[in-house]
Structure 1
Amino acid sequence: MSKPISRTLAVLLLAVSPLALSAYSESNAQEADRFAGVEIKVVPLAEGVAVLFGAGGNIGVSYGPDGTVLIDDQFAPLTPKIQAAIAGLGAEPVTYLINTHWHGDHSGGNENFGKAGALIMAHDHVRERMLGIQKSGRGNDPASAVEALPTVTYHDGLKLHLNGDEVQIKHMKHGHTDGDSIIFWKKANVLHMGDLFFNKMSLPFIDLDSGGNARGILAAADKVLTMVNDDTKIIPGHGPMATKTDLIAYRDMMKTVIGAVVKAQGEGKSLEQVQAMKLAGQWDVNPDAFIKGDAFVAAVYKSVQKPEHVDDHAH
């Protein structure tokens, strides 16, 4: 069932009770209020390339004579602010939209941009998950509206030749989710990592229910480090802009924690015993972090218990 239909059905069902309808309106108003004070901060990175910071995943944007490319789009109520920020760059409305993965803080604006004419692209698994198809014990999430779905999907990646640059889109297997993509502007030397990289504001979130795995995040960091140099500007999924040095530190943290968890598992330690070792303690420094040490170590522990993914496209 698509979101617009289910929403309409909810209103019809709630209409039998004025009190319930009032509660429904109030929840919608609260969602709007939640984003009312959000400002979209625009930071130019290179000629025709910028990053937008708001609420949710960081947004990449490139623009020029061939159109405007948007990487992720945060939450639906923020679409007008994002569109205004893009216009403020002197850019045309969004022509192409690429989702780094399927989570709502990165794809919540898809329906709005899709209706406005953007061509949406993402990995095959992103479309599957947005259709409500889950390959895990989590069950089905509500399907997205048709206009929100990626209409161009790929398995390994794509190249776009736009605005005088080569935009490389590469799938990174089983990292944050099973549908993560990185986007690299070759000439501009800017790379968007999506949620494969949480920079300095939280330990990584590994969505095990969406096919994520700690080893995949480590592999993605290793792969990206072969693509970048000291001048590359790296856009993380969350947190401030990053450099190759920041990504090396992140990779080393992942390698250290995974290695320590593997060793502890080999010694027969339980999850609780491993969590008590505080293996991520030196990096668990933000009291407001989205993911704290125990949750991160639990995700790593469960990741390394799983067999290596051999066929990424097996369902």
Structure 2
Amino acid sequence: MKHFTLIIIALITAAATAQGRFDDVQITVEKVTDHIYMLQGAGGNIGISTGKDGVFMIDDQFAPLSKKITAAIKTISDQPVSFLVNTHFHGDHTGGNLNFEAAGAMIVAHDNVRKRLAADEKTASAGLPVITFSEDATFYQNDDDVFLTHVHNAHTDGDALVYFAQSNVLHTGDTFFNGNFPFIDTDRGGSIQGDIDAAKKGLMLINEDTKIIPGHGKLATKADYQKYHDMLVNVYTSVFKAIESNKTLEEVTAMESITSEYLTDEESAKSFITGPKFRSTVYKSILENIEINK
């Protein structure tokens, strides 16, 4: 009985700690166009389209933030969330699915997002996408043609770009980290080449006037996005040459010169993805691709 009681106490403490880490999070609302907004708090950037068709939402951060996010949405619209798009399956973009589903939102995502959420015992029973697509989908919401397109094996194996055609706004999900090195989840289908291809596809969709909501970081421009793409290409090229020169993973991980043009290791030391971590990921991703294509 004592052992059981200790387990219960531990579970309650863990739940309280998880909730507590979000207590001080503030949800900020940034106007992007006359009816599109970017919300930031903890986790991935949220996109919101408002209008006569209701609220069209992209990503939803963590479950404990749903009430704060809902309150923030109510400052810009009195309509309910009609559709919720998950740009990929990671918890900082899908953690609120169950809460928004319960409030009436219809969840939309790539096929692989549903598969990965369904395979996770924490998310298998509810909050799953009820509409999925394999390549592209288009929604007609709030006077925008909203184009969803799958980008293969980029940040994960289920990423989607979301482009509001008439408003000229692009949400990239985590295929674009503005101002930081990206997290490429190679264990779940992500790859450096796929991330490059995703940026290339996104750049083809937009023009100089497009406003870009990245997965993380500040609202971006095409110039920011192009810089990110070029960084990915240059790092890929440098690491590939190092592999051809028989450099080991440890050696490449230590080669700050590969990435210092963009961020020094000191500048990225407190980031989720540091310079050494990024170089290591690129090395492993390239090597894996070489093995696959042998």
* Aligned amino acid, residue 113 of structure 1: F
Residue 119 in 1 paired to residue 137 in 2? no
Q: Name the structure 1 match of 2:289.
A: 307
Q: Name the structure 2 match of 1:181.
A: 160
Q: Name the structure 2 match of 1:9.
A: none
Residue 295 in 1 paired to residue 271 in 2? no
The DSSP-based 3-state class of the residue aligned with 1:183 is strand
Query: 8 Å contact 2:55–2:77 — kept in the other structure?
Result: no
* CA apart distance, 1:260: 0.6
* Mean Cα deviation higher: 255-264 or 89-98: 89-98
Q: Name the structure 1 match of 2:44.
A: 57
Query: 8 Å contact 1:115–1:147 — kept in the other structure?
Result: no
Residues 44-193 of structure 1: pairs in structure 2 closer than 5 A: 44-132=31-119, 141-193=120-172
**Distance in structure 2 (CA, Å) of the matches to 1:98 and 1:91:** 20
The DSSP-based 3-state class of the residue aligned with 1:282 is coil
**Distance in structure 1 (CA, Å) of the matches to 2:262 and 2:17:** 34
Question: Where does structure 1 lack aligned partners over 5 or more consecutive residues?
Answer: 1-13, 133-140, 311-315
**Distance in structure 1 (CA, Å) of the matches to 2:246 and 2:92:** 38
Residues 222-301 of structure 1: pairs in structure 2 closer than 5 A: 222-278=200-256, 279-284=258-263, 285-301=267-283
* Aligned amino acid, residue 209 of structure 2: D
Q: C-alpha root-mean-square deviation of aligned residues, in Å?
A: 1.7
| Deviations 1:190-239 (CA, angstroms, capped at 9, x unpaired) | 10001001111x31101011100001111111111111112111011111
* Aligned amino acid, residue 230 of structure 1: E
- % identity of equivalent residues: 44
* Aligned amino acid, residue 215 of structure 2: G
Check 1:268–1:287 CA distance in 2 against 1; reply closer, same or farther (3 A cut): closer
**Distance in structure 1 (CA, Å) of the matches to 2:70 and 2:11:** 28
| Deviations 1:142-166 (CA, angstroms, capped at 9, x unpaired) | 2514331001000101000111110
The DSSP-based 3-state class of the residue aligned with 1:122 is strand
* CA apart distance, 1:280: 1.3
* CA apart distance, 1:100: 0.4
Check 1:91–1:63 CA distance in 2 against 1; reply closer, same or farther (3 A cut): farther
The DSSP-based 3-state class of the residue aligned with 1:237 is strand
* Mean Cα deviation higher: 276-285 or 50-59: 276-285
Check 1:309–1:41 CA distance in 2 against 1; reply closer, same or farther (3 A cut): farther
Check 1:189–1:288 CA distance in 2 against 1; reply closer, same or farther (3 A cut): same
* Aligned amino acid, residue 295 of structure 1: K
Normalised by the length of structure 2, the TM-score is 0.94
Check 1:148–1:255 CA distance in 2 against 1; reply closer, same or farther (3 A cut): same
